[in-house]
Structure 1
Amino acid sequence: MSIDQLIKQLETQSTITIPAGWGQGRATFGGLLASLMLSRLHATLGDLTQDRVLRSATISFIGAVAPGEVEIKAEVIRSGKSVTQASATLLQDGAVLAMLLANFGSSRPSSIDIPASIRPPEVKSPDDAMKFGYIPGLMPEFIQQVDLRWAAGALPFSGAPQADFGGWMRWKDTFPTMTRTHLLGLIDAWPPSVLPLLKGHANASTLSWNIEFLTHDLSKTSEHWWQYQVTTDYAQSGYAHAVAHIWDDEKNLVAISRQVTTVFA
């Protein structure tokens, strides 16, 4: 079942069955869970989403979510003149396994206008970049759902002298409108930034994730490419702190992603 189909189910119901094919080790792909929680939040906000869009969100992955039925509870915490704060909680078998705290805001006149100071690096085009193929047993199942093109930096577990990498991404399934909900899950498809340093396979997982969206209107379909570049700010004692920037195919900065990752190596 495609990401678009799963997202749409949460627009009209609070429970959903996570199908096979979305695994990430012993758990379900965290990007999918984030998109599902956000979809349920949009449904809960209703008419408020007509002029208020997701500006930032913090996601915590608390426990492993298995394929099967989950429930997502969403609530509005506070709604003011231009900003709404809301939360979503994902439960399975009565246990809280993921949470999302989101801030939705409408545009308003401002005398401050500072364009993005960081530009996308010049890398190979999606057609020339290396396609990140799926290898059963070595890669998480959900990789079959995304089209990743490696354009800069070393591959995971290659024993490289430097962390960090970049490339292009999009969903393999086609749908007419690429929303923030679709993009949220896609951004999480890349492996942790420090994995190229390792010489052999090791487990790593996201502890917390903060995402900030900059543009109001994405105006893209699922066939458009998104450029991704990640940088490690700090890594020690089994935790890595990284920031990633995401641009559209017209070099507009659309999102900033910050993650704390646990590394078992």
Structure 2
Amino acid sequence: MNFDQLLLEWNPGQDNIAVPEGWSQGRATFGGLVATMLQEKMTAEVAEDSSLRSATFSFVAPVGAEAVQRSAEVLRAGRSVTQAQGHLCQGGTVVLAGLASYGRGRDSSVKVGVATAPEFSKPEQCMALPYIEGVVPEFTQKFDYRIALGQLPFSGTQERQLGGWVRFKDGSENTVSINHLLALIDAWPPATLPMLKTPAPASSLTWTVEFMEPLPNHKASDWWQYLAEVEQAGDGYAVIQARLWDVSGKLVALSRQMVTIFG
């Protein structure tokens, strides 16, 4: 089942939802997918004319293959901004917690330009990220990757940046949505993995992502530019910031993660 089919199957107001096969990430489920599950539930509680501006997720425990229970509530709804929180649970235990900020657009005299897209080589000129069963997470088969900057995971490099091109390759032909962007910006391996010399697990502890309105009018299966940089690492943890641009070079999302490293 591809990503668009999953979105059609999920009812935003549904409390119990099945975790689909094919999206595993080691002993857990792909973070971009479970964040989408919770984001949909939180958004269902908010007025339709409010756009998701920022969301923070705390990955409390691995999300397994069994069904999850999701809940959400509005903390406050003001004239412009609405704040909501939500939880995913499995077996009576919280596995994912989220806070989301929604805002209506308004006139402002403050306008600051955003970072321009990197000048990467064309996707067909870049190295593909290979799928190696048992080494590369299962869910990566849902995406197409082209490395334009940095090295392959577990290559022992000292480079702090990792980036290139990414797109859905599972038939997701719809115009991109917040759900697609959550998956696309989280699809890449953590930028710390190329620093390791041998395979070792890593996972997100916390994740904050912001979105730039208006959303682009491109397909999820179009190419998207991605660039991540390790800002700091030590004691088995790392801070990674990342950006996502559409094919025309428009910045669409900003990401910041605290990642745990077991190697």
TM-score range, shorter chain: over 0.9
Q: Which of residues 163, 171, 191 in structure 2 aligns to 1:166?
A: 163
Residue in structure 1 matched with residue 34 of structure 2 by the alignment: 33
Which of the numbers 222, 245, 252 marks the counterpart of 1:254?
252
Indicate if the aligned counterparts of 1:239 and 1:260 stay in contact, CA closer than 8 A: yes
Structure 2: distance between partners of 1:21 and 1:223: 18
What one-letter code is carried by the residue in structure 1 that aligns with 2:2? Answer: S
Cα-Cα RMSD:
1.3
Corresponding residue for residue 222 of structure 2: 224
Alignment match, 1:6: 6
Task: Identify the residue that residue 81 of structure 2 maps to in structure 1.
Answer: 83
Structure 2, unaligned runs of 5 or more: none
State the distance in 2 between where 1:234 and 1:7 align.
Answer: 35
Secondary structure of the equivalent of 1:68? coil
Aligned-residue offset at 1:261: 0.5
Query: Paired residue for 2:152, among 155, 160, 165?
Result: 155
Post-superposition offset of 1:202: 0.9
CA–CA distance in structure 2, aligned partners of residues 181 and 163 of structure 1: 28
| Whole-angstrom CA distance in 2 between matches of 1:41 and 1:84 | 11
Q: Which residue of 2 aligns with 1:211?
A: 209
1:67-78 aligned within 5 A = 67-78=65-76
Distance 1:19 1:113 in 2: 42
* Residue range with higher mean Cα deviation, 92-101 or 129-138: 129-138
How far does the alpha carbon of each residue in 1:53-89 deviate from its partner, in whole angstroms, 9 at most, with x for none?
1110101101011112111101111110011111120
Q: Percent of counterpart pairs with the same letter?
A: 44
Match of 2:117 among 110, 117, 120: 120
- Classify the secondary structure of the residue corresponding to 2:141: helix
| Deviation of the 1:12 alpha carbon | 4.3
Which stretch has the larger CA shift, 174-183 or 70-79?
174-183
Residues 96-141 of structure 1, C-alpha deviation per residue, up to 9 Å, x if partnerless? 000111001111001111111x222211112222222321111111
Distance in 1, Cα, partners of 2:11 & 2:168: 19
Shift of 1:10: 3.4
What is the rounded CA distance, in whole Å, between the counterparts of 2:103 and 2:230 in structure 1?
29
State the 1:157 CA deviation.
0.3
Contact preservation (8 Å) 2:59, 2:206: yes
Pair 1:74–1:7, CA change in 2 (3 A): farther
Using the TM superposition, give the Cα deviation of residue 32 of structure 1 relative to its aligned residue in structure 2, in angstroms. Answer: 0.4
Q: Give TM-score scaled by structure 2 length.
A: 0.95
Deviation at 1:242, TM superposition (A): 1.2
Structure 1, unmatched stretches of 5+, are none
